[in-house]
Structure 1
Amino acid sequence: MSDGAVHLDEAREKAWSMPLDQINPADPYLFRDNTMWPYFERLRKENPVHLQTEHQFGPYWSVTKYNDIMAVDTNHEAFSSQPSITIADPKDDFRLPMFIAMDPPKHDVQRKTVSPIVAPFNLQAMEPVIRERAGAILDNLPIGEEFDWVDKVSVELTTMTLATLFDFPWEERRKLTRWSDVATANPESGLVESEEARRAELLECAEYFMGLWNQRVNEPPRNDLISMLAHGESTRNMDRMEYLGNLILLIVGGNDTTRNTITGSILALNENRDQYDKLKADHGLIPSMVSETIRWQTPLAHMRRNATRDIALGDKLIRKGDKVVMWYVSGNRDEEVIDRPNDYWIERPRVRQHLSFGFGIHRCVGNRLAELQLKIIWEEILARFPEIQVTGAPRRVLSSFVKGYESLPTVIPKRL
């Protein structure tokens, strides 16, 4: 039995024996160790709308079943995304407004400003560029030598795409990766020395992008995110902190989630060899595999809302002002809605039925771009390599928000 299986068995025993009111699914160490599953399973069965009263960021409700999550996510009038989409409240001295953490009408006009970047005609124009870059990345991978898939492939491809969306200086594109990691870092992760250090790096990000803003605002409007923000009627008068907030949203949303799903696809197919064999035998399964991986991975584990009034959910009464956390990672494993939810099944019927992109007015604006990058990288992988082997355990991110990977050791035995 592997160490991972032992840890999961121990977690299962603990999850089913501890008092319900002590379960805290927001514990980031559960996600780092991949042992959160039995806790969510118990909550779905015994207390699907669960109040955790003792938490460092204050009491919060956990919503763990698919249909309850849908009820919250599609009712922005009763469940506001202000002031934050994560469990922690923004600090008064470092508030970063962003349109995903806004309600209509301001949310709608700011989102509309940037959404053309991922319109179908733009994605069609980007596809050959993404494909060329994916091919170059794969062609430069070592054969027969172990390497980190996260760094060499997942980060590289998504950072290249993000740099294109911003028209960001190409040789400095890994700054985007760093800022993405810093923006969502758990204070205990060791990624930054302190909260002060984290803020300093984010202010460096703001300063860098102010230079790009000042350049684009004095040029005719162009088809990149900075130009769109600089010329957009609802965004051109943002202060520095709102600009930084929206930048972080676009950086994390445009990079972090897709890169973790690309890594998740390698891991899932290695853990489910029968599915990998089916994919290699039938490349037409790639789109279905992509959707199943997005469900299986659930790259953002949760989103938070605030109740704007007293409202019933399930058999509980949620009070005005209460924090409500939608656990997408749990809803995507809801046995009552999704058949064989714990299986990785690339021929799954209704494979696009998942919560990973959210629903309602905040549904992921870049979902089609994410799917496109995943589709392309796998078309190019299958055209080159008989298989990619995972050679060790993944190192997962210490976070209950970003469900991702720091590293994944892999080897490519040979080319086709």
Structure 2
Amino acid sequence: MSETLVAARDKSIADAYAIPLEKIDVSNPELFRANAIWPYFERLRREDPVHYCKESEYGSFWSVTKYKDIMHVDTNHGIYSSEATLGGVALRNQEEGFFLPMFIMMDPPKHDAQRKVVSPIVAPGNLAKLEGTIRERAGNILDSLPVNETFDWVDRVSIELTTQMLATLFDFPWEERRKLTRWSDVAAAGTAFGDEETEKARRNELRDCAAYFTELWNQRVNATEPGNDLITMLAQGEATKNMGPMEYLGNVLLLIVGGNDTTRNSITGGLLALNENPVQYKKLRDNPSLVESMVPEIIRWQTPLSHMRRTALQDTELGGKQIKKGDKVVMWYVSGNRDEEAIENANSFIIDRKHPRQHLSFGFGIHRCVGNRLAEMQLRVVWEEILKRWPDKPIEVVGEPTRVFSNLIKGYSSMPVRIPG
């Protein structure tokens, strides 16, 4: 890895082992932006796997940090609810006055009915049809990259590929597809608190998003030919055709963020991980078939969604702790994916693991990521195409990536790279 990657970390961040256990607050987005969260989760897994944080910007909450406990919460929706009216699935509660229901924030049966409307777009048959399109686009993007010149991998590759895919899934006007990127970033930014002016600007941008997608809905709601795009599916689906405007916007934003942020950050995080682990990068170049097992390892290592939150529907016990009805319970996928008791050598990036799919990044239970196979396919195709073009030379990360200020989206806003000539 280039020496320029060894950058000074934020010295103002407290030593995770020097502060009282009860004072640990892993919800601070700065810990994620500075990539300084790891010792905090390490300590919690060892000393207090189900940890109560009494005071934070998000109020009090329980942190669930070990693999088996996260699995228990994620697969017991009868005890731990995702319901938007109880606060939703992020640490930050749904905003008063700007309430956005979406199917990820619903319990059965409504969740199941709405999810079923959009799931055909990622059915195996449709994915098989999409693969050729993804491969062609990935090839065109990679062929357009400069050689022996520094450029931003996030903008030129990760964002461009995933935004092109989103535009296809929505049948969105091609020349305006970067609006999807912008709205994804704006929606995700709502998980951290901003000042009043920032919040107002964010809501106004999301209203623009709602107006744009309402026009697309109106164009397709009465289409006689059934469209194979997400807007037509929502407009004509029995469980979604009578949605109110805020519920429609909520589901649109869910599909934008789910189809964009997670994959794009794994594309960036994978290249970073290979640069940080040059032995693994050489192993991949020597044996390109390892792409198959590398893809889920990238997704585990990156964990593009750091957490999901639930609300306890009843008094219950977890990890020896008494959870009260109404308590906020946060599953830290990013911590569970580094749990050495569940995953062998969990703190190492290993592209040829025996059980590479043993990770929490897609969630489990009824809310398991609906587009997980599409995400994996995009990652696989882009790495297959990279290895075709540069089989002997690694793409070099030549500077510290800029990480986003979020405790939900574990991602990057830029990463300088160079392709050797």
**Category of TM-score, reference length = shorter chain:** over 0.9
Letter in 2 for 1:322: D
Letter in 2 for 1:131: R
Conserved? CA contact 2:5–2:397, under 8 Å? no
Letter in 2 for 1:235: T
- Equivalent in the alignment of 1:151: 155
Query: Structure 2 matches for 1:138-287, cutoff 5 A?
Result: 138-185=142-189, 194-220=198-224, 221-287=226-292
Conserved? CA contact 1:186–1:399, under 8 Å? no
Change (3 A) 1:205 1:346: same
1:332 aligns with 2:337: yes
SS at match of 1:160: helix
Conserved? CA contact 1:189–1:398, under 8 Å? no
Q: Cα distance, 1:366 vs. partner?
A: 0.2
SS at match of 2:211: helix
Runs of at least 4 residues off by over 2 Å: 1-11, 186-193
- Equivalent in the alignment of 1:410: 417
- Equivalent in the alignment of 2:304: 299
- How far does the alpha carbon of each residue in 1:340-377 deviate from its partner, in whole angstroms, 9 at most, with x for none? 11100001111100000000000000000000000000
CA distance in 2 between partners of 1:64 and 1:2 (Å): 32
- Equivalent in the alignment of 1:28: 29
SS at match of 1:16: coil
TM-score between both structures, scaled by the size of structure 1 = 0.96
Uncovered stretches (5+) of structure 1, i.e. residues with no partner: none
CA RMSD of aligned residues (A): 1.8
Change (3 A) 1:233 1:114: same
Conserved? CA contact 2:79–2:313, under 8 Å? yes
CA distance in 1 between partners of 2:11 and 2:320 (Å): 31
CA distance in 1 between partners of 2:290 and 2:219 (Å): 44
- Equivalent in the alignment of 2:131: 127
- Equivalent in the alignment of 1:399: 406
CA distance in 2 between partners of 1:309 and 1:81 (Å): 14
CA distance in 1 between partners of 2:309 and 2:193 (Å): 22
Letter in 2 for 1:209: F
Change (3 A) 1:10 1:182: closer
Query: Structure 2 matches for 1:6-21, cutoff 5 A?
Result: 7=9, 14-21=15-22
SS at match of 2:95: coil
Q: Cα distance, 1:92 vs. partner?
A: 2.3
Conserved? CA contact 1:144–1:411, under 8 Å? yes
SS at match of 1:410: strand
TM-score between both structures, scaled by the size of structure 2 = 0.95
Letter in 2 for 1:334: D
CA distance in 2 between partners of 1:79 and 1:187 (Å): 20
Q: Cα distance, 1:10 vs. partner?
A: 8.5
1:390 aligns with 2:397: yes
Uncovered stretches (5+) of structure 2, i.e. residues with no partner: none
Conserved? CA contact 2:5–2:398, under 8 Å? no
CA distance in 2 between partners of 1:3 and 1:149 (Å): 15
